[in-house]
Structure formats: structure tokens, C-alpha cells
């Protein structure tokens, strides 16, 4: 793929208190590993900071992109799916939740290819009306998906055949993934289908068949460039097709 033909991929980013040099202030940022995965896959990475948004602004943003990646981060506000916060649930980042909710709905409306990662899978499900298990150890009896301290744990995920995810992964029945989450999808939103589960039944991947490309995984593909580069190649290639289709319209 030539440099001039590379599709533009928007990545949502964090808004947190950050330190650099003498400065200690709120800042938008994203770990380099995310946008390196996009550029290595042949895309152009553009970071999207949380900001005030309405449906019109969200539509303008996604229509200026060829693809969208919802990245990991803090827990989605339980109020968005009608629940009180569990003691372990993060203090909500309401600005980011509102921003990404609007982007999800706009991307689906305009058929912009979307890849959700960890929190991204959860915000997709919540935006479409689903709910979240707020603390998995309460349900499965272990912390197998979240060691804390920045340590990723490896878990196997069974992949549903004849799905977009299966095609991206070359038809593999099972994939070993890097996990860092204490929450997961509970009630599945209307329209989504489950495409991957852990051996404990925890939903690990979903997709939206009504659009050309909308895949979301509970794990962190950016942490395993060898295996899960396939997911980044998938969204970049879908973005290139989307861009070409628009140019011919």
C-alpha cells in the first residue's frame, strides 16, 4: 500500500492527569503501541481526544476518517447501563464515555469500519443498549483476566467459525490472547453477535453483522504484535475499502 493511499484511522485517547518535565496537568494521550500497530498495518493514525460532542460533531469526525479504533481505558460509567457502581469500578470518565458513545453510533450510521479493544468492546455494547459485568471475580471466582500492576495475563479464547473475526484470524479455532480487564459484556446488545468466549463462558469478542466491519475484542491485540497484528490489518484493509467505495460514490 503506497503512502498516499494509506487509510486514515482515528484512535480514541485517554484524558488524564499527566506529568512531563515541569508540567503536571490534564492531557490527552495514548500509548505508542496502539498507533504503531496501525502504522505497521498500513494505516495513518490520528488521535481523537475526548471533547464536547453532539451527533453532528460525531458525524463530522467519523466522516473525516476511513476507520475508527476504540481503545482501552477506564471502566464505562455504570449509570449508562442503569446500574450503581461496584466498589471496584473506576471513577467514571464521563467526558470520554459521552464522546465515544457518540462516535460509535455515528460510525455505525455511516458504515465506518470500527475495531473495539477492551473498553472499546464494552462501550460498543453499552452504546447499543447492553450491560456490563462490573467485577468478573464475583462471577467466575478468579482474577484470571486481571493481575493488576500492568501485568497482562494469557488466556485462550474460542473463536466462532464463519465470522469476520474467524476470517481475520485465519480460521483459527482458538487464540491465546493478552488480558487486562476485570469487567466484561453481560447482557448483549441487540444486533451484536458473540464471536469469541473464554472457557468459562465470558464473552471475549463480538461483532455487528449489519455493517461492513465492526469487530470488538475484550483482550489487548496491541500487546501481541505477532499474533494480533491480524486485527489491525483487518480494520486498516476494511478502511481502505470504505475509502475507495466513498470515492466512487
What domains can be seen in the chain, in order of their start residue?
3-248 (3.40.50.880)
DSSP, collapsed to helix, strand or coil, labels residue 237 as helix
The contacts of residue 89 (CB under 8 Å, 6+ apart) are: 75, 78, 134, 135, 183
> Residues 107, 62: contact at Cβ < 8 Å?
yes
pLDDT for the residue numbered 237: 97
Strand duo 203-207 + 214-217: pairing: antiparallel
Mean pLDDT of the 174-193 span: 97
H-state helical runs in the chain: 32-40, 55-63, 94-109, 119-127, 136-140, 164-168, 229-248
Q: Walk across the sheet containing 174-179 and list its strands.
A: 44-48, 8-12, 67-70, 114-117, 214-217, 203-207, 193-197, 153-159, 174-179
Task: Tell me the C-alpha distance between 68 and 70, whole Å.
Answer: 7
pTM: 0.95
pLDDT at residue 196 greater than cutoff 90: yes
pLDDT for the residue numbered 165: 97
pLDDT for the residue numbered 247: 85
Task: Tell me the C-alpha distance between 231 and 169, whole Å.
Answer: 8
Interval 95-149: pLDDT, tens: 999 999 999 999 999 999 999 999 999 999 999 999 999 999 999 999 999 998 9
Interval 144-182: pLDDT, tens: 999 989 999 999 999 999 999 999 999 999 999 999 999
Active site residues: 118, 220, 222
pLDDT for the residue numbered 226: 64
Q: Which residue has the cell 471496584?
A: 88
Interval 34-46: pLDDT, tens: 999 999 999 999 9
Amino acid at each position: 500500500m503506497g503512502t498516499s493511499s494509506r487509510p486514515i484511522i482515528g484512535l480514541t485517547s485517554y484524558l488524564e492527569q499527566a506529568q512531563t518535565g515541569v508540567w503536571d496537568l490534564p492531557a490527552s494521550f495514548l500509548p505508542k503501541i496502539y498507533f504503531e500497530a496501525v502504522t505497521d498495518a498500513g494505516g495513518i493514525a490520528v488521535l481523537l481526544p475526548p471533547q464536547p460532542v453532539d451527533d453532528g460533531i460525531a458525524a463530522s469526525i467519523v466522516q473525516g476518517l476511513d476507520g475508527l479504533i476504540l481503545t482501552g481505558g477506564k471502566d464505562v460509567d455504570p449509570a449508562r447501563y442503569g446500574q450503581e457502581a461496584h466498589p471496584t469500578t473506576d471513577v467514571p470518565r464521563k467526558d470520554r464515555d459521552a464522546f465515544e458513545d457518540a462516535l460509535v453510533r455515528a460510525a455505525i450510521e455511516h458504515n465506518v469500519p470500527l475495531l473495539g479493544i477492551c473498553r472499546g468492546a464494552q462501550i460498543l455494547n453499552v452504546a447499543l443498549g447492553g450491560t456490563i459485568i462490573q467485577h468478573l471475580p464475583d462471577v467466575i471466582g478468579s482474577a484470571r483476566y486481571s493481575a493488576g500492576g500492568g501485568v497482562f495475563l494469557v488466556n485462550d479464547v474460542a473463536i466462532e467459525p464463519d465470522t469476520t473475526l474467524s476470517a481475520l484470524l485465519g480460521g483459527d479455532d482458538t487464540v491465546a490472547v493478552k488480558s487486562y480487564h476485570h469487567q466484561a459484556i453481560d447482557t448483549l446488545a441487540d444486533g451484536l453477535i458473540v464471536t469469541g468466549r473464554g472457557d468459562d463462558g465470558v464473552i471475549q469478542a463480538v461483532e455487528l453483522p449489519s455493517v461492513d466491519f465492526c469487530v470488538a475484542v475484550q483482550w489487548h491485540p496491541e500487546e501481541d504484535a505477532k499474533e494480533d497484528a491480524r486485527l489491525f490489518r483487518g480494520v486498516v484493509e476494511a478502511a481502505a475499502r470504505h475509502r475507495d467505495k466513498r470515492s466512487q460514490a
